[in-house]
Amino acid sequence: MGEYPTHVLVCAGAGCISSSCKEVEQALIDELKKHQLNEKIKVVETGCIGSCDLGPVLVTYPERIFYQKVQPKDVKAIVEEHLLQGQPVERLFYQDAVTGKTMAKYDDIPFFSKQVRIALRNVGLINPVNIEEYVARDGYGALAKVLTEMTPEQVIEQIKNSGLRGRGGAGFSTGLKWEFTKKAQSDAKYVVCNADEGDPGAFMDRSILEGDPHSVLEAMAIAGYAVGASQGYVYVRAEYPLAVERLGVAIEQARKMGFLGENIYNTGFAFDVEIRVGAGAFVCGEETALIASIEGKRGEPSPKPPFPAQKGVWGKPTLINNVETFANIPPIILKGAEWFAQIGTEKSKGTKVFAIAGKITNTGLVEVPMGMTLREVIFDLGGGIHGGKRFKAAQTGGPSGGCLTTEHLDLPMDYESLTAAGSMMGSGGLIVMDEDTCMVDVARFFLEFTQDESCGKCTPCRIGTKRMLDILNRITEGKGVPEDLETLETLANTIKMSSLCGLGQSAPNPVLSTLKYFRDEYEAHIYQKTCPAGVCQSLLRYQVKSNVCKGCGLCAKNCPVGAISGKPKNPYVIIQNICVKCGLCMQKCPFNAIEFC
Amino acid sequence: MAEAKKVREDALAVPRRRFEKVNEIIARHGKSASALIPILQEVQEEYRYLPEEILTYVAMVMDLPPSTVYGVATFYVQFSLEPKGKYVIKICDGTACHVRGSDPVKEAIRKRVGLKNEKHTTDDLRFTVETVSCLGACGLAPVVMINDQIYGQMTPDAINVILDKILEEEGDVK
Ligand SMILES: Cc1cc2nc3c(=O)[nH]c(=O)nc-3n(C[C@H](O)[C@H](O)[C@H](O)COP(=O)(O)O)c2cc1C
Ligand code: SF4
Ligand code: SF4
Ligand code: SF4
Ligand code: FES
Ligand code: FES
C-alpha cells in the first residue's frame, strides 16, 4: 500500500456518501494536518465496504480496526487517541447484535470474516478512481498475461475449466458463451457488459462499478482478445450516476496508461470501451432488449435464436456478460482454473455476491462461496432478523424468483438447489422477510412491478400479468373469491409457457412460490378476510380490547363519524360498517385499549 | 430535389436558432441512429423534459421518422414529455424499501409538497415526486433520492426535515 506506514480507508460508496462520509473525510484530513501526520498517514477513499447501514465506516491499516457510524466530531478522538497514542476508540467499534460483544477488528466481525472475496477483492480496499492502486494489486496483470503468453483458445479453455457461470441470472457457462462468440464468423464483434441491474433489492453490480471499475474494464479487454472483438460497451442504468462517473474516469485513465486503445501492451491488440446509459426500462436488462437499446431503438426483446453470440449489436456476434461475471475473470486468469474450481459446489463454482436487505440486522453486500447455507448467510453474516422478530421467508431472484422458507434454511445456495426449491439464484438479491411481512402483499408487489415493466410486445405477458394483478389486488382488499387461487395458477402457467422473453416467462414465479409455501395466508385473506401479518390496509380494523377498556368514553367523543358506542364504565365497541379508519380513537384512548389488526 | 432541400432548410432555419443547445448536443454525438438515446438524455437534462417540438426537430435533423423518435421517447420511463419540477424526488419502492416501509415516506412527501390525487408535479414546477424500483442502496432502506443526492433510512419525520430545508432555501417558509 505504498510508502505510507498507516492508511485510513474511508468508505465513499453510495451508502456512506448519503450518510455524509465526505464531511468525516474532510475532518480527518484537517485533523491529521493539525498534528503533522499528513505525511505519515494516508487517507484513502474506497468503494463500498459492504456494511452500508453502519456508515460512515472507516478502516485503519495495517491494524484493520473497523469504525462504524463515525461522525465528524469523532475524528479528533480517532486521531489523538488511536493514531497518535495507539489506543483505538472503543465507542466506535462494531457491536454484535446477537451477543452484544464489541469487536475492534474487521477480521473479527462475522459479516466480513465469513466472506471469500473474489469479485469484490478490491472493493472497499482501493481508491476506485486511482488506477495505480488497481495496478499495485495485480491490476491489468491478467490482461498482460493473456496478450503475451496465451492464445485466445487457451483463454477460453481456462475460463471453461474454471466452471464460471453467468452471474446475471441464467447461470450459463461463461467459457462456452465465449467459445460460441469466438466461433462466429464476422468482420466485427462486440463485447457488452450488462450493468442494467434492474432487480429491485440488488446492488452488487453497482458496488463493483463504483468500487473497482478497472476490474470490469480489464476483463472486457480480455474477453475482446478471446472472442476477437475490439469494441466494448458497458450498459449502465441511469439510476447509478456515480457508477457512470467513476467508470468514465476509469476508462480515461486506462486509455492514458495504454490498457485500452490501440496496440495494448505493444502486442498490436486494440480494444476500447464506451458507456451507454440506460433510460429506465427493466426489460433492457434482457440481452436482446439491451442490444436494441444500444442501437438506439425501443428496448423490446426479440426471439432467440439467433443468440447474441451469433447476431447481436448491429447484427454482429456479441458477447454479453454481467458485471460480476466479468469481475471474476482477472483472478481466474492469474490464479488458474483449478484454484477457482475448488471453491463452491460441484456444479456451481466460485463465489456469489449477495445483497442482503429487508428485515435483517446487518444489511449490505457479502460475497460467499457457492453452497453456503441460507442459515449461515442470514444468521451468521446477517446477524439474524431485525428487532428480534421471527424469520419467515427469504426472497431470491427478484421479480423472477421465489421465496425460501424455514424448511430451506439449511439449503446450500447454488444454482441447482435454489431452482429445485422453486426459487432461483437470479442476480443475487436476498430480501429477508419476518413475521410482519404479508406474503400475498409481496406477491402482489412483484407482479405490480413486472406488469409495470412488461414491454407489451406479447399478449400473455401484457394482459396475463394484468389479470393476475387484478386478482391479487382484489384478494388484498378482502374481495377475493375461492376460485381466485385456481385462476391464478392457470394464468401463471399460461404466461410462463407462452411469453416471448424471460420477463414474462418468470413473472408468475413469485406468485406460484408463495402459493406453494404460504397458501394459508392467501386463504386467510379470501375466507376470513384477514391479513395475518397485519399489512393489507383494507383488511385491518380498529377494535376495542374489552379487557383493557375502562369505559371512559373518550374514544366515542372523538370519533368523527359516531362509530363508537357504549355505556360508561363498560367496554366500548366500534361499529365496523360505520368506522372510516381514521385512527383518531386509537390516539385518544388514554389506556391503549384500541388496537389495529 | 433541390427544391425539397430548400424547403427543408427553410423549415429548419427558425428552430435552428432557437434550438442552439440541441444542435450542439447533436453535433457532439453525431447523427447515427444509435446516438438517439444519449441525445435525448442530454436534451432532457437541458430542458428538464422533452418538449414535443424539440422531438420533431431532433427527428428532422437526424433524418429519422418523427414516429421513431417519439416511439423511443415514450418507451423509456426516464424520458418525460411533460415538464418536471426543479427538484425531482424519487422514492424507492423496490423490495427492500417496500418491506421496510416506503409507503408512509411517500405519503409524507406528497403531503409536504402539496401533491394530490394522481399528480406527480406541483403546479409551480418545483417538485416532481415519482416512485422508482430500487436505487441500489437497499442496505439503507427505505431510500429517497432528491435530484442526484441519496438519503437513506428515511422515516416520515426525517424526510420532512430535509424537505423543510429545501423549502427554506427556496425562500418558502411554511
Ligand atoms: C427481464 C430480464 C432482466 C434482466 N436483467 C439483467 C440485468 O439487469 N443484469 C444482467 O446482468 N442480466 C440481466 N438479465 C440476464 C441477461 O439477459 C443475460 O442473461 C446476462 O446479462 C448474461 O450475462 P451472464 O451470462 O454473465 O450472466 C435479465 C434477463 C431478463 C429476462
Ligand atoms: S414477455 Fe413481456 S417483456 Fe418480454 S417481450 Fe413479451 S411483453 Fe415484452
Ligand atoms: S378509527 Fe376513526 S372512525 Fe373508526 S372508530 Fe376510531 S375514531 Fe371512529
Ligand atoms: S378511550 Fe379507551 S378506555 Fe376509554 S372507552 Fe374508549 S377504548 Fe375504552
Ligand atoms: S457505502 Fe459504505 S459500506 Fe456500503
Ligand atoms: S430496494 Fe430501495 S434501494 Fe434497493
Three-class DSSP labels, A219-246: HHHHHHHHHCCCEEEEEECCCCHHHHHH
pLDDT per 10-residue tile (average), chain A, 597 residues: 80 90 95 92 94 93 94 95 94 86 92 95 96 96 98 98 94 97 97 94 94 98 98 94 95 98 97 95 95 96 95 97 98 98 96 93 94 95 89 93 94 94 91 93 94 94 96 95 96 96 96 96 94 87 92 92 92 91 88 89
Q: A535 at the B interface (CB within 8 A)?
A: no
Tell me the best of A554, A580, A587, A597 to mutate to test the pocket of ligand 3, counting ligand atoms within 8 Å of each CB and taking the most: A580
Q: Which letter does DSSP use for residue A35 in this model?
A: T
Spacing, Cα A336 to ligand 1 middle (Å): 26
Note whether residue B81 is domain-resident. no
* Last-in-domain residue among B75, B99, B118: B75
Final residue in a domain of this structure, among B75, B102, B128: B75
- Give the span between the Cα atoms of A150 and A158, in whole angstroms: 10
End-to-end CA distance of chain B: 63
Give chain B positions within 8 Å (CB) of A286. none
A123 reaches B (C-beta below 8 A): no
Query: The pTM is what?
Result: 0.91
* Residue numbers in A near B40 (CB within 8 A): 279
| Total domains in the fold of chain B | 2
Judged by a CB distance cut-off of 8 A, whether residue B71 touches chain A is yes
Whether B55 and B104 map to the same domain: the answer is no
In this predicted structure, what is the pLDDT of residue A1? 44
Are B37 and A201 in contact (CB < 8 Å)?
Answer: no
Task: Please check whether the domain covering A6-108 is classified as CATH 3.40.50.1980.
Answer: no
Answer yes or no: is the C-beta of A503 below 6 A from any ligand 2 atom. Answer: yes
Residue range B71-81, pLDDT digits in tens: 999 999 989 99
Q: Where exactly are the structural domains of chain A?
A: 6-108, 131-340, 351-434, 439-528, 541-596
- Give the C-alpha distances (Å, rounded to integers) separating A351 from A328, A338, A370, B172: 9, 14, 5, 52
Residue A119: per-residue pLDDT: 98
* pLDDT tens-digit series, residues B110-161: 999 999 878 899 998 999 999 988 888 888 889 999 998 899 999 999 999 9
pLDDT at B8 over 80: no
- Clarify whether residues B60 and B116 are in a common domain: no
Domain A6-108 shares a fold with domain A439-528: no
Burial of residue A419 (CB within 10 Å: 0-12, 13-18, 19+) is: middle
Q: Which of residues 330-389 of A touch B (CB under 8 A)?
A: 355, 357-359, 363-365
Q: Does B91 share its domain with B69? A: no
* Residue A21 alpha carbon, nearest atom of ligand 5: 2
Residue B157 placed within a domain: yes
Specify if B80 maps to a domain.
Answer: no
| CA angle in degrees (0–180, nearest 5) for A142-A147-A152 | 100
Give the structural domain span for B63. Answer: 2-75
From the CB of A542, is ligand 3 less than 6 Å away? yes
Which alpha helices (H) appear in A336-483, and where do they start and end? 337-341, 374-375, 415-420, 439-453, 459, 465-476
Indicate if B40 and B104 belong to the same structural domain.
no
- The residues near B98 (Cβ < 8 Å, ≥ 6 apart) are A200, A445
**Which residue in this structure is represented by grid cell 409481496?**
A442
Q: Choose the mutation target among A18, A199, A503, A535 for the interface with B, i.e. most B CBs under 10 Å.
A: A18
Sheet of A65-67, strand order: A41-46, A6-11, A58-61, A65-67
Do B121 and B142 fall into the same domain?
yes
Give the mean pLDDT of chain B.
87
Query: What does the DSSP 8-state code read for residue A173?
Result: B
Confidence class of residue B99 from pLDDT cuts 50, 70 and 90? Answer: confident
| Total residues found in chain B within this entry | 174
Mark whether B63 and B95 lie in a shared domain.
no
**Is CATH 1.20.1440.230 what the domain over A439-528 is classified as, yes or no?**
yes
Chain B residues whose CB is inside 8 A of the A445 CB are 95, 98
Specify if B6 maps to a domain: yes
Q: What are phi and psi of A318, to 5 degrees?
A: -135, 130
CB pairs under 8 A between A and B: 141
At A59, give phi and psi (nearest 5°): -130, 130
Judgement on whether residues B66 and B91 belong to the same structural domain of the protein: no
Question: Do A15 and B148 lie within an 8 Å CB cutoff?
Answer: no
Alpha-carbon distance A206 to A508, whole Å? Answer: 27
- Residue B135 is predicted with a pLDDT of 87
Same domain for B120 and B148, yes or no, is yes
Q: What is the spatial distance between Cα B137 and Cα B41, in angstroms, rounded to a whole number?
A: 23
Largest CA distance in chain A: 94
Is A51 within 8 Å of chain B by CB? yes
In this structure, the answer to whether residues B92 and B165 fall within a common structural domain is yes
When CB atoms are compared, the residue of A238, A240, A294 closest to B78 is A238
CATH of A131-340, one of 3.40.47.10, 3.40.50.11540, 3.40.630.10, 3.40.50.150: 3.40.50.11540
Residues B165 and B91 placed together within one structural domain of the fold: yes
B17 pLDDT more than 70: no
Cell of B147: 435530484
> Can you give chain B as a three-state secondary structure string?
CHHHHHHHHHHHHHHHHHCHHHHHHHHHHCCCHHHHHHHHHHHHHHHCCCCHHHHHHHHHHHCCCHHHHHHHHHHCCCCCCCCCCCEEEEEECCHHHHHCCHHHHHHHHHHHHCCCCCCCECCCCCEEEEEECCCCCHHHCCCEEECCEEECCCCHHHHHHHHHHHHHHCCCCC
**Centroid of chain to Cα B162:** 21
CA distance B20 to chain A (A): 23
In a domain, B82, yes or no: no
CATH topology of domain A351-434: Ubiquitin-like (UB roll) (3.10.20)
Instruction: Say if CB A378 and CB A384 are below 8 A apart.
Output: yes
Structural fold of domain A541-596: Alpha-Beta Plaits (3.30.70)
Any alpha helices (H) in A336-423, and if so which ranges?
337-341, 374-375, 415-420
The answer to whether residues B127 and B70 belong to one domain is: no
pLDDT at B13: 60
Across the interface, which of B93, B135, B138 has its CB nearest the CB of A239?
B135
Q: Show which of B75, B99, B128 is a domain's final residue.
A: B75
* Chain B residue with minimum CA distance to A396: B95
Residue B102 belongs to domain with CATH number: 3.40.30.10
Is residue A500 within 6 Å of ligand 2 at its C-beta? Answer: yes
- Tell whether A580 is within 8 A of chain B (Cβ): no
Model confidence at B93: pLDDT above 70: yes
Report ipTM for this prediction: 0.85
> Helix, strand, or coil here: A361?
coil
Q: Quick one: B128 and B94 in the same domain?
A: yes
